[in-house]
Amino acid sequence: MLPKFAYFKGEIVPYEQAKVGVATHAFNYGTGAFGGLRAYWNAQEEQLYLFRPFDHFHRFLNSARLLLMEPKLTEDDLTAITVELLRKEGFRQNAYVRPLAYKSDEVIGVRLHDLQDEITIFSIPFDKYVKNDTGAHVTFSSWRRVDDNMIPARGKITGTYINSAFIKTDASNAGFDEALVLNVDGHLSEGSAMNFFMVRDGILLTPPVTDNILEGITRRTILELAENELDIKVRERSIDRTEVYLAEEIFLTGTAAQVTAVTRVDHRKIGSGEMGPVTERLRTLFEQAALGKNPTYKKWNYPVYE
Ligand code: PMP
Co-location of 171 and 45 in the same domain: no
Co-location of 47 and 77 in the same domain: yes
Residue 194 Cα to ligand 1 middle (Å) = 5
Residue 62 Cα to ligand 1 middle (Å) = 15
pTM of the model: 0.97
Answer whether residue 296 is part of any domain.
Answer: no
> What's 109's domain CATH number?
3.30.470.10
Maximal C-alpha separation, the chain = 56
Q: Which atom of ligand 1 is nearest to the CA of 218?
A: 14
Verify whether residue 293 is a known catalytic residue.
Answer: no
Mean pLDDT for the chain overall: 97
Asked if pLDDT for residue 1 goes beyond 90, the answer is no
Do 141 and 171 meet the contact criterion of CB atoms below 8 Å apart?
A: yes
pLDDT per residue as tens digits for the range 236-263: 999 999 999 999 999 999 999 999 999 9
Choose which residue among 62, 218, 223 to substitute to test ligand 1 binding: the one with the highest number of ligand atoms within 8 A of its C-beta: 218
Domain coverage including residue 33: 5-125
Choose which residue among 178, 180, 221, 255 to substitute to test ligand 1 binding: the one with the highest number of ligand atoms within 8 A of its C-beta: 255
Residues at CB less than 6 angstroms from ligand 1 = 36, 164, 190, 193-195, 214, 216-219, 253-255
pLDDT per residue as tens digits for the range 181-190: 999 999 999 9
Q: What is the pLDDT of residue 89?
A: 98
Q: Whose CA is nearest to atom 12 of ligand 1?
A: 216
pLDDT per residue as tens digits for the range 95-140: 999 999 999 999 999 999 999 999 999 999 998 888 899 999 999 9
Co-location of 114 and 28 in the same domain: yes
* Residue 171 confidence class, pLDDT cut points 50, 70, 90: very high
Lowest mean pLDDT among 18-32, 124-138, 197-211: 124-138
Co-location of 143 and 266 in the same domain: yes
- For the chain, what is the domain count? 2
Q: Which atom of ligand 1 is nearest to the CA of 256?
A: 16
Q: What is the pLDDT of residue 129?
A: 81
Answer whether residue 58 is part of any domain.
Answer: yes
Co-location of 274 and 231 in the same domain: yes
